[in-house]
Amino acid sequence: MTKKIAAISALLVLLASSAWAGVELLSWSASPLGDHARLEWQTGQEIDFQTFVIERSPDGQRFLPVGQIAATGSFSEYYFTDQSPLDVENERTFFYRLKLVDRNGAASYSEALEVTLSFTPVQQTWGTIKAMFR
């Protein structure tokens, strides 16, 4: 019985610690999808919550927004595919995080996740050509 109580207590602590801003983030994943990154997350309660801003970084330190998705309500599933990594010269590994924004403007951040993409030689050449004209 003591083990069950400890397990339930640990689960409650985990769920409480995953509640940021006005949203409870139940899951958050990022995976390669060829030359794109596929981001997926699920929420629990969403209270006075407004939007998710998807941010990308080449080094895990400097993040810039690459997309935004409006909140749809509690217990929702969200998806985002970053189709712009080829705009970043010579990078294959990226870090993604969610900026969680309440209706009052307060924000917090999810954990940053790392994704390594694979580019074909043609895509790499095209990325280099585009970079020359910036």
How many other CB atoms are found less than 10 A from the CB of residue 128? 11
Sign of CA dihedral 75, 100, 70, 77: negative
Sign of CA dihedral 49, 59, 86, 129: positive
Q: Is the residue at 115 inside a domain?
A: yes
Predicted local distance difference test score (pLDDT) of residue 10: 39
Q: Is the residue at 33 inside a domain?
A: yes
pLDDT one-digit tens code per residue, 61-81: 999 999 999 999 999 999 999
pTM assigned to the model: 0.72
Q: 49 is in which domain, residue-wise?
A: 20-132
CA angle 54, 56, 59 (to 5 degrees): 150
Q: Is the residue at 5 inside a domain?
A: no
Please state the domain count of the chain: 1
Predicted local distance difference test score (pLDDT) of residue 91: 66
Question: Which residues neighbour 66 within 8 Å (Cβ) at sequence distance 6 or greater?
Answer: 54, 55, 56, 82, 84
Q: Give percent above pLDDT 90 in the chain.
A: 56
CATH number at residue 115: 2.60.40.10
Q: Is the residue at 12 inside a domain?
A: no
Q: Is the residue at 51 inside a domain?
A: yes
For residue 26, list its beta bridge partners.
none
Predicted local distance difference test score (pLDDT) of residue 121: 61
Predicted local distance difference test score (pLDDT) of residue 4: 47
Structure tokens at 74: 């509690």
Q: Which residue positions in the chain have pLDDT lower than 70?
A: 1-21, 85-91, 119-134
